[in-house]
Amino acid sequence: MQTDYEKLASMINDIQFTMMTTTDSQGRMHSRPMATMKLENESDFQGVLWFFTRKDSIKVHEIEEETEVNLAYADPTSQRYISIAGFASVELDKEKMKELWTPTLKAWFPEGLEDPELGLIRVNVDSAEIWDSPPSTVVKLAGMAQAMLTGKPYEKAGDHRFIHLKQ
């Protein structure tokens, strides 16, 4: 049986981008797409997610003011949706950067690991809400037909739950 960590890791592992939401000093929320660094082994996931960034970006300044962030993952094809609440920090660990670096990151950081503005955002996951439904059209159509016939709301087959991860 999967642990909560393994379930969360398996749901986000194949979703390349997330929307990271930070809060500015006036309390306004800002979201932007971010590439999650791949989780190599789902069973080793301990609730930490990594993202490359520029040290002098707006999101970094917002994280320095307010560490709470939200990460929203979506894969409509497989009917997986995840909302993660966590605490972010900016890291300048060159060894971690080397460990996480992939050649595709050159599109955003042409100077590579030598870029003096290169930094990492570390998100310690506090909790997550997940929605995981079977993508089968037949299952969905059968459920909607049943709802129309019975007059009761469509109760989708799948998993919706709140996960609280202890750090």
Q: What is the pTM of this model?
A: 0.81
Tens of pLDDT, residues 123-166: 999 999 998 876 554 455 555 565 666 666 656 555 666 667 76
Mean pLDDT in residue range 92-103? 94
- Of 6 and 96, the one with more pLDDT: 96
155: Cβ contacts below 8 Å, ≥ 6 apart: 143, 147
**N- to C-terminal Cα distance for the chain?**
21
| AA identity, residue 65 | E
Of 122, 19, 14, 135, give the one whose Cα is nearest residue 73: 19
CATH number of 32's domain: 2.30.110.10
- Tally of domains in the chain: 1
Supply the range of the domain harboring residue 76: 4-164
Tens of pLDDT, residues 37-94: 977 666 678 899 999 999 999 999 999 999 999 999 999 888 899 999 999 999 999 9
pLDDT given for residue 138 in this prediction = 46
